[in-house]
């Protein structure tokens, strides 16, 4: 149980804390530039030719779109604006993905369990926590590009962006479970209604609500599902850790199992060695067990591989004020790690797994305070270094090149037997 709690804590760290945020006045100081990346329109000639798609399969890229932010990129566009994010969607399509996951949040006041769409703190730089105003036009844009669209709603603490997961982090005694579930049901119905109008293909009803996804909360989850299905006819999805078990997976259409960065830090010298590593063998066993228990399509979800190819929690380190300047890129190791999910879908998990989802594309990471950090603010510098280490796939060209090698091949393509 202790090991599972650690795994969950790491998993929700990846899901949370990645929404960005304005750094205030420092964003106007371009001195001491460390990494400056430019977003640009991709030419059709740069794009891979996608294979004929196997029905009911998903090769997904996660697009982090939590809420609007007052930050501008170095082209003068608001980071979550239509003009900025369409360039990200173009890139996702060009790399070869057939699906984009619009990741957003359900902001919750953990003191009460209530929905909190507007931060009452006048000092907060991002007070409006509702979905970005260009969210639905961007969904339409992705659909018009021929991409499948999934929406992932993650219930989070509106202040810290931490995922609502009581097994991972204890909730205050004042947190009211009924208030929380009623807020979930009401808000998800609103979003699902729009999802139906915009022809969204799949809808995550939650992610990692471990401790609140037990059978004692069946009635509350049944209400959420009923509310969503009253306005939405697409597929329902729930994500949790690959070692987890929840009755919710018997009620949704697709099981999402978070893989995250489990293959990093294994010191493997070859892809063969990595595929046969104990942690990968255990992962395969858990996925097979899940398939036998729930008999549902499975997405290997939230695959998170940065260019350092280490298990260092880069965002956690930046939050605590640590420097990460000593961490270097390791593109060969990154390439091997990115290959694992694809190799498994074509070999050991063939006929079990129907989707693989990679994290993530981060438009907010182009904010000037990140791209041109104030060197007197270590937190800003560290965020810049995180981006330099490839946590944002858009600016991690070696990662995208490796992904394209698989994405331009038919589903199940693998290089190992």
pLDDT at 377: 87
pLDDT at 315: 78
Q: State the Cα angle at 338 between 335 and 340, rounded to 5°.
A: 115
- Give the whole-angstrom CA distance, residue 370 versus residue 359: 19
Domain map (residue ranges) of the chain: 2-407
Q: At 405, phi and psi to the nearest 5?
A: -55, -35
Task: Please name the residues in contact with 402: beta carbons below 8 A apart, sequence gap of 6 or more.
Answer: 334, 335, 338, 339
Tokens of 215: 């059978």
pLDDT, mean of each 10-residue run, the chain (417 residues): 48 52 39 55 87 97 95 95 97 98 98 97 92 98 98 96 95 98 98 98 98 98 98 98 98 97 87 95 98 98 90 78 82 94 96 97 95 89 87 94 98 93
pLDDT in tens, 174-207: 999 999 999 999 999 999 999 999 999 999 999 9
Q: Which CATH number fits domain 2-407: 3.40.1190.10, 3.40.190.10, 3.40.50.170, 3.20.20.80?
A: 3.20.20.80
Strands 298-304 and 58-64 turn out to be unpaired
pLDDT in tens, 342-382: 999 999 999 999 999 999 999 999 999 999 999 998 888 88
């Amino acid at each position: 149980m202790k090991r599972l709690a650690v795994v969950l804590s790491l998993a929700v760290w990846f899901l949370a804390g990645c929404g960005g945020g304005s750094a205030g006045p420092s964003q106007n100081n371009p001195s001491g530039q460390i990494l400056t990346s430019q977003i640009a329109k991709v030419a059709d000639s740069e794009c891979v030719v996608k294979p004929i798609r196997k029905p009911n399969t998903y090769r997904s890229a996660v697009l982090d779109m939590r809420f609007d932010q007052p930050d501008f990129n170095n082209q003068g566009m608001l980071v979550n604006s239509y003009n900025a994010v369409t360039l990200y969607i173009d890139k996702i399509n060009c790399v070869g993905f057939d699906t984009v996951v619009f990741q957003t949040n359900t902001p919750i006041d953990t003191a009460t369990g209530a929905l909190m769409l507007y931060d009452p703190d006048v000092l907060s730089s991002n007070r409006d926590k509702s979905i970005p105003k260009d969210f639905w036009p961007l969904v339409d844009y992705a659909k018009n590009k021929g991409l499948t669209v999934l929406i992932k709603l993650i219930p989070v603490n509106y202040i810290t962006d931490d995922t609502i997961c009581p097994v991972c982090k204890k909730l205050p005694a004042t947190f009211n479970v009924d208030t929380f579930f009623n807020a979930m049901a009401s808000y998800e119905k609103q979003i699902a209604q729009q999802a139906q109008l915009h022809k969204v293909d799949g809808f995550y009803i939650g992610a990692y609500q471990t401790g609140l996804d037990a059978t004692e909360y069946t009635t509350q989850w049944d209400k959420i599902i009923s509310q969503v299905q009253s306005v939405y006819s697409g597929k329902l999805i729930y994500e949790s850790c690959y070692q987890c078990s929840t009755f919710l997976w018997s009620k949704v259409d697709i099981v999402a199992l978070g893989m995250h960065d489990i293959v990093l830090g294994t010191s493997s010298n070859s892809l063969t060695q990595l595929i046969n590593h104990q942690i990968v063998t255990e992962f395969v066993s858990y996925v097979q067990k899940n398939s036998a228990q729930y008999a549902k399509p499975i997405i290997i979800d939230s695959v998170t591989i940065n260019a350092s190819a280490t298990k260092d929690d880069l965002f956690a380190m930046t939050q605590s004020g640590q420097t990460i300047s000593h961490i270097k890129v390791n593109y060969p190791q990154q390439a091997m790690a990115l290959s694992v999910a694809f190799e498994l879908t074509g070999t050991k998990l063939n006929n079990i797994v129907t989707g693989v989802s990679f994290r993530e594309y981060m438009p907010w990471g182009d904010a000037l305070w990140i791209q041109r950090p104030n060197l007197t603010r270590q937190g800003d510098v560290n965020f810049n270094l995180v981006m330099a280490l490839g946590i944002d796939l858009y600016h991690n060209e070696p990662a995208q090149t490796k992904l394209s090698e698989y994405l331009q091949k038919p589903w199940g393509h693998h290089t190992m037997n």
